[in-house]
A = this chain, B = another copy of it.
Amino acid sequence: MKQLSERARASFGQPIGELMARALGNPELISLAAGFADQSTLPTNLIQQVFDGVFADEPTARRALQYGTTAGDPLLRQLLIERLLSVDPGLSAADHVTPDQVVVTAGSNEFLFLLADALLDPGDIVLCGSPTYLVMLGILENLQAVAWGVNTDENGIRSDDLHQVLDLLQRQGRIDRVKAIYVVSYFDNPGGISMSLERRQELLDVARAWSARIGRTIHIIEDVAYRQLRYEGEDVPSIRSLDQSGQQVVYVDTFSKCLSPGLRVGWGLLPPPLVEPIINLKGNLNFGSPHLNQMILQRFLRDQLDSQHVPTIRQAYREKLEALETAAEELLAPVPGVHWHKPTGGLYIWLGLSPSIDTGPQGSLFDHAIEEGMIYVPGEFAFPNQGEPRCRNFMRLSFAVESPQRIRQGVEALSRAISRTLDEYRAQV
């Protein structure tokens, strides 16, 4: 349609948006699709308490209802830095970890959009895991950039494969188009994979070596959306904390998963040369995210309420992961070809089926699942267009929104849907 800009024509609806709408439209449907927050863990009392605190003081309340600054509330940025330094003790302010490097956004999605917009021209390449976060794929498509999938195993994106891809792109004369490497470093969406420390260091080394080789920084975009959602083991240092130069890694965080998606506050820590460009772009987009929400979060962090809240949600999600695991072990593991890697955090299980089964909307399994009363995210949406081949026999199962009981019912429904699909296949052979 010639009314629209090239970018609008390149921008398709987020497939997950339609799925969410479908799930919301039928409340009976058991959603193992949506990455919403668990409704029962949303901290209504804590938020009410914090809101009352902000509004108890008239000048503070007025400040909350006034414009803030484009980069975000200064005290909030200070508290975000203190929080980061406390979880990554290897870091210090000397590593360009200061409030001046922080930009606060309405969700980390806005931050990822601004960052991609600042770095990428049409045709530029971002290397990412295969599979990877499907919303990031939408952002890149929107910007007419290329998402290039790199082989990923149970420790995260493989550095030897990454190296090979960079080599290939150099031979093809396209190395100048490689601008960034995107990873969800903790409990990946959709894979549930958390990168090992060794793999983090290797990734940083590869990015540095190639940046030096081409004379331009290839940024690592480290998305830590699920870092707080660990259900066993110890936290691993961030990739950012290994990058003491502060030049290589952009650290992108959100409070949508560990606090409230409706509050919608995200933020990122930028290498110094990217701060001004991002603030300029944000100045044109909205000259600052909602100040009220920032003031609420600021007080939440100041009063250290996250140390109260995070254990609660960990416990709730741990139980739901158990429910999904138990039901899947019992009902899905016996099905030939079914496999998954057990996650220790996050919100997702990445379930592989026999290669003959197409999990996408064009296959029969997806419809059967809905008929049986559940919905999942077809895995194909999470594969980049370039690089590693797209697989059609995976699905993302989320244990985020449903109760343990309904999670089990959802797996039962899925198991029936798989049986029906396999029966059809057998009938055709």
A residues contacting B by CB (< 8 A) are: 1-8, 11-14, 17, 20-21, 24, 36-37, 39-40, 42-44, 47-48, 51, 55, 58, 61-70, 106-107, 109-110, 113, 117-121, 124, 135, 138-139, 141-142, 216-217, 256, 260-264, 273-274, 276-277, 279-281, 283-293, 295
Contact = CB atoms under 8 A, between A and B. Distances in A.
B69 A5 contact: no
Nearest to A295: B262
A274 B5 CA distance: 11
Contacts of A58: 44
Contacts of A263: 65, 290, 292
Contacts of A261: 65-67, 291
Contact of A8 (B11, B39, B69, B277): B277
Given A51-B51, A55-B48, A261-B65, A8 B280 contact: yes
Contacts of A7: 117-118, 121, 281
Contacts of A5: 117-121, 124
B286 A109 contact: yes
Q: Which 3 A/B pairs are nearest by Cβ-Cβ distance?
A: A262-B291, A264-B290, A44-B61
Contact of A285 (B113, B119, B256, B279): B113
Contacts of A3: 119, 216-217, 273-274
B273 A291 contact: no
B44 A283 contact: no
A414 B36 CA distance: 54
A271 B70 CA distance: 30
A141 B280 CA distance: 11
12 contacts: A3-B274, A7-B118, A8-B277, A11-B284, A13-B279, A44-B58, A64-B262, A109-B287, A138-B284, A139-B284, A262-B292, A264-B289
A285 B51 contact: no
Contacts of A280: 8, 11-14, 142
A71 to B, nearest CB: 10
Contacts of A17: 70, 283, 287
B262 A68 contact: yes
A290 B48 CA distance: 16
Nearest to A141: B284
Contacts of A135: 284, 287
A288 to B, nearest CB: 8
A14 to B, nearest CB: 4
A260 B287 CA distance: 15
Nearest to A138: B284
Nearest to A140: B284
Contact of A113 (B216, B277, B286, B295): B286
A106 B44 CA distance: 22
Contact of A290 (B66, B106, B277): B106
Nearest to A109: B286
Given A5-B120, A290-B264, A281 B142 contact: yes
A62 B36 contact: no
B216 A273 contact: no
Given A14-B70, A65-B261, A113-B286, 6 more contacts: A8-B117, A17-B283, A36-B67, A135-B287, A261-B291, A290-B293
Given A44-B61, A51-B51, A66-B37, A283 B110 contact: no
